[in-house]
Chains A and B, each alone.
Chain A
Amino acid sequence: MSQPTFETAVRTQGVNMFFGEGESRVTALKQADFDARRGELIMLVGPSGCGKTTLLSVIAGTLTPQAGTVEVFGQRLDGLGQEDLTTFRRKNLGFVFQSFNLIPTLTSLENVTVPLLIQGVSQREAEERARIVFEKVGLKGREDSRPNSLSGGQQQRVAIARALVHEPPLLICDEPTSALDKDTGAQIMEMIRTLSRAPNRCVVVVTHDQRIFRFADRIAEMEDGRIRRVVDDPRQLDTTHL
């Protein structure tokens, strides 16, 4: 077991997570040990149902595991109450979802302001800051468009702007490209990689999509609720079962 280094961003040890009781009990994570470093983009891969989303939720502080320790940027999440977890997410997290999860009744720019408004930033300042990020994702001119009038790739770019607008140290992406075609997926991954690059930021990407493995600094392979191994080069992976 490796010792935590100065550059550790996320660290889970011996995390157990199961759902349901008795007969219908499903174990999603068993003794999951996972590390991610500051400044890296790490991918979580593995067959369907192996626990990727569950582990991501544990790291994000939206699920509390039954056992094990979870440490994110030096803060222990296991044992925190709902209120503290909420505060933790507000300050530290940016989310990118597979299904974008943009609020359809708000304009794109308004969607991007949400994390800032949650932090209590004034409407005006939030809009100013959102505009800057909006430009960075290449959507200048579409501020007032509703998400539904944008293409999938454009919607995911709005979502990236929303995930980064408050400059969170941890960016969490669950299958960010699987609702997109090949080229768009690659563009989105490129964008996540370049925009989220920061010495202190850690990006965790869950994916099935082998076409984007090349954007990862490291790849953690999961199997049956635990991390099987971590590799630096996608070619080291046995991808037949993914």
Chain B
Amino acid sequence: MYRLALNMLFGDRAKLAMLLCGLAFSALLMAQQTSVFFGIMSWTYTPIYNIRSTIWVSDPMVEQANDAKPMRDTELGKVRSVDGVSWAAPLHMSILQARMTDGNFKLITMVGIDADTFAGAPAQLSQGRIEELRLPNTVIIDEWGAQLMGRTVVGPDGKTKTVPLKPGDTFEINDIEARIVGICKVRRAFTGGPFVYTTYDRAKAYNLEARRTLSFMLVEPRDGVSASQLCDRIERETALKAWTTDTVIWDWSDRSLAKNTFWWFWKNTGIPFSFGTAVALGLFVGIAISGQTFYSFVLENLKYFAAIKAMGAGMATIARMLLVQALTAGLIGFGLGAGMAQAIGRVMIEKGMPPFVMFPQIFWATLVLVLGISLVSAIIGIIKVSRVDAASVFRG
């Protein structure tokens, strides 16, 4: 009977295509919208990705990763003296204007890192070496920024193109020269422009107006001390705020800077709301479309299910047939939709820094939802068929 059920499903290619399109489209919508949402939201805590450190320490008033409230440099000594701290390094982070050689201004996120330890340095340099930051007036810029801040030239073919910045090129920050000695690969940020790394002391020089420049402290616990333990201790002994930097969304701790940043943006900006609405809409439209398509499939076959019922098939058999049909369609539809979402995501990732994060969880959740939709449609179909009078086969 199951093979027959599947043959019924696959027998009408045109209707099957519509059914699968509905299911695939809703799976695509759900997976895609959710992934873009989490992608955008993960941009909000980009600094944690780009400036790796086990613990971040900040002013107690700081609420999220983009919100630097500079502290006095003496705080560093206090943190270093907390028991369990292996080392603590200063970090400067601010949004400044860079002036290009052609006179244009661009916003940048300036990151000043400790010149002795290079704590918080970008994990991956595609050109240059981090040590060259010790030379005067040097910076390392990220790939996206190098492209964004590049020069526009007219090629021999008459077309304009952008020549990205490369080591040796210069620009100015507050009238002080910045010479590029390296290009790094980092994530794109939600706020501010490209990441420009320099040393902590030089960041002070670039940032003329700043009274204080210690935005964050990067702290590493000693062996055997857990991050959250040390955070507790730092907060108790210094009256500063200490954060862990776990970014794994489904098990981030209460101290996670990523979590607090995520929720800060959730509460304080319209972006999560509008994207959340899009996700909700995706879910709603997805449920509506696939539910409706499967339901119309059932309606079209109602007459034949009634005939099968008259011929002596029990409701249990018919229910199993409908379940096999619905779940098979659901699985194929999910495969198509999730595959498309994945492909679109890949293109987005290749095109540059993606606001696209497809967790395996999103995949599974989409699968569960699509199968759930199929299941509900099947149950509605089963109820519908069970109400159908076997005697109705003689009519019409």
How many of chain A's residues touch chain B, expressed as a range? 20 to 34
Assess whether B4 is in contact with A97, with CB atoms less than 8 Å apart.
no
Do A95 and B304 have beta carbons less than 8 Å apart? Answer: no
Using known A-B contacts A101-B303, A123-B3, determine if residue A95 contacts B311 with beta carbons closer than 8 Å.
yes
Q: How far is the CB of B195 from chain A (nearest CB, A)?
A: 59
Q: Are B391 and A118 in contact (CB under 8 A)?
A: no
Binds A, one of B99-107, B167-175, B312-320, B365-373: B312-320
Q: Bound complex: CA of A57 vs CA of B310, how far in Å?
A: 10
B312 touches A115 (CB 8 A): yes
Closest residue on chain B to residue A53 by CB atoms:
B394
Q: Which residues of A contact B317 (CB under 8 A)?
A: 118
Interface members, chain B 357-396 (any A CB < 8 Å): 389-391, 393-396
Selected interface stretch from B5-13, B184-192, B278-286: B5-13
The reply to whether A106 and B311 form a contact with Cβ atoms under 8 Å apart is no
Q: Tell yes or no: A103 within 8 A of B by CB.
A: yes
How far does the alpha carbon of A90 sit from the alpha carbon of B396 in the complex, in Å?
22
Distance between A24 CB and nearest chain B CB, rounded to angstroms: 17
Name the distance in Å between A51's Cβ and chain B's nearest Cβ. 12
Say which size band chain B's interface belongs to: 20 to 34
Given contacts A53-B394, A57-B391, contact A114 B308 (CB under 8 A): yes
Contacting pair B11 A105 (CB below 8 A): yes
Which residues does chain A contribute within 8 Å of B344, judged by CB atoms? none
Given contacts A101-B307, A106-B11, A110-B7, contact A86 B391 (CB under 8 A): no
* Smallest Cβ-Cβ distance to A175: which chain B residue: B394
User: Given A86-B314, A118-B308, does the pair A95, B11 have CB atoms closer than 8 Å?
Assistant: no
Contact A86 B313 (CB under 8 A): yes
Cβ of A63 within 8 Å of any chain B Cβ, yes or no, is: yes
B310 and chain A: residue at smallest CB distance: A62
Bound: A93/B1 CA distance, A: 19
A105 to chain B, nearest CB (A): 3
**B1 and A105 contact, CB distance less than 8 A:** no
If the complex has contacts A114-B311, A118-B308, are A103 and B8 also in contact, measured as CB distance less than 8 A? yes
Whether A60 sits at the interface, judged by CB under 8 Å, is yes
Interface membership of A56, Cβ < 8 A: yes
Which residues on the B side are within 8 Å of A174 (C-beta)?
Answer: 394
A56 to B310, CA, bound (A): 13
Closest Cβ neighbor of A100 among chain B residues: B307
Distance in Å: Cβ of B250 to nearest Cβ of chain A = 43
Q: Which of A53, A87, A95 contacts B395 (CB 8 A)?
A: A53
Contacts of B314 in A (CB 8 A): 83, 86-87
The answer for the CA separation of A118 and B390 in the assembled complex, in Å, is 15
Report the bound CA distance from A202 to B292 in whole Å.
Answer: 44
CA distance A114 to B389 in the complex (A): 19
Chain A 85-135 interface residues, beta-carbon cutoff 8 Å to B: 86-91, 93, 95, 97-99, 101, 103-107, 110, 113-115, 117-119, 123
Assuming A90-B311, A95-B311, is B4 touching A110 (CB within 8 A)? Answer: yes
- Shortest A149–chain B CB gap in Å is 13
Q: Across the interface, do B4 and A105 meet the contact criterion of CB distance under 8 Å?
A: no
CB distance from B303 to the nearest CB of A (A): 7
CA A37 – CA B96 in complex, angstroms?
101
Instruction: Report the separation of the CA atoms of residues A178 and B351 in the bound assembly, to the nearest whole angstrom.
Output: 66
Chain A proximity mask over B42-83: 1 for CB below 8 Å, otherwise 0: 000000000000000000000000000000000000000000
The reply to whether B308 and A57 contact each other, CB–CB distance below 8 Å, is no
Tell me if A101 and B304 are in contact (CB < 8 A).
yes
Closest chain B residue, CB of each to CB of A60? B310
B391 near A99 (CB under 8 angstroms)?
Answer: no
In the bound complex, residues from chain B placing their C-beta under 8 Å from that of A106 are 4, 7-8, 11
Q: What B residues does A57 contact at CB under 8 A? A: 391, 394
CB-CB < 8 A to A62: which residues of B?
Answer: 310, 389-391, 393-394
CB-contacts of B299-349 with A (<8 A): 301, 303-304, 307-314, 317
Cα distance A119–B304 in the bound complex, in angstroms: 17
A53, A104, A110, A118: the one within 8 Å of B311 (CB): A118
Residues on A lying within 8 angstroms of B by beta carbon are 53, 56-57, 60, 62-63, 83, 86-91, 93, 95, 97-99, 101, 103-107, 110, 113-115, 117-119, 123, 146, 174
Known interface pairs A101-B303, A101-B304; 9 further A-B residue pairs with C-beta atoms within 8 A, sorted by A's residue number: A53-B394, A62-B393, A89-B310, A89-B311, A95-B393, A105-B10, A114-B4, A146-B11, A174-B394
Q: Which 3 A-B pairs give the minimum distances between C-beta atoms?
A: A105-B11, A90-B312, A89-B312
What residues of chain B have their CB less than 8 Å away from a CB belonging to chain A? 1, 3-4, 7-12, 301, 303-304, 307-314, 317, 389-391, 393-396
